Structures are given as structure tokens and as C-alpha cells.
């Protein structure tokens, strides 16, 4: 729930408000985070995205979601072992 909540805030800030967003992930890789955001943005079933078995409409929704996220300024740092001082310096 914590990751989903943080991603929702970051995604809405970047795509709806035009904010520049930096995400620092200590647990999940950037690819997993992007997949979750794509599913949320496009209302796409995560299991079908993972297997590539999307419905026809979901392929269209995925393209729209990719455009929305691709045109927003979301930066993800998934460097393992980031310490607070490093995160502070990068942000």
C-alpha cells in the first residue's frame, strides 16, 4: 500500500500538475515502478501487462499511458544502498 500511495502522488503531481518529481526506491527497481505507473495511468491489468496478454483496448490504453508518463518529468533512482545523505545530495 505504501508504494502504491507514493506512486499515485508522484504520478498525479507529474502528469496532472506538471510538477517535476524524483522517486528514490530502496526496494523496487525502476522498471517495476514504471510498470505499476503505466497500469495505474491506463487502467490496465498488471497481470496481463506482465505476460503481454493485453486485451485490444488495453494496448491502446497502454500507448496513451506511455505518452502521458513519457511527457512528464518523473525521475526514478533505484540505486541500491542509497543513504539519506546521498538522496539529499541527488535531490
56 is catalytic: no
> Which of 27, 31, 73, 86 is labelled catalytic?
27
Q: What are the pLDDT digits (tens) for 34-84? A: 999 999 999 999 999 999 999 999 999 999 999 999 999 999 999 888 888
For the four alpha carbons of 82, 85, 89 and 91, in that order, the dihedral sign comes to: positive
- Tell me how far apart the alpha carbons of residues 44 and 62 are, in angstroms, rounded to a whole number: 7
Q: What is the pLDDT of residue 7?
A: 94
| pTM assigned to the model | 0.85
Closest CA to 34 of 89, 2, 72: 72
Grid cell for residue 11: 504520478
Q: What is the pLDDT of residue 1?
A: 85
- Output b/e per residue, 43-66; b: 16+ Cβ within 10 A: ebeeeebeeeebeeebeebbeebe
Q: What is the pLDDT of residue 29?
A: 94
Q: What is the pLDDT of residue 51?
A: 94
Question: Domains of the chain by range and CATH?
Answer: 2-90 (3.40.50.300)
Amino acid at each position: 500500500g505504501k508504494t502504491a500511495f507514493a506512486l499515485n502522488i508522484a504520478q498525479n503531481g507529474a502528469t496532472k500538475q506538471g510538477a517535476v518529481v524524483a522517486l528514490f526506491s530502496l526496494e523496487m527497481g525502476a522498471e517495476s515502478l514504471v510498470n505499476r505507473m503505466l497500469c495505474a495511468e491506463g487502467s490496465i491489468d498488471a497481470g496481463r501487462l506482465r505476460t503481454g496478454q493485453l486485451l485490444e483496448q488495453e494496448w491502446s490504453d497502454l500507448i496513451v499511458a506511455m505518452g502521458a508518463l513519457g511527457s512528464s518529468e518523473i525521475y526514478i533512482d533505484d540505486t541500491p544502498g542509497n543513504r539519506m545523505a546521498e538522496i539529499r545530495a541527488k535531490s
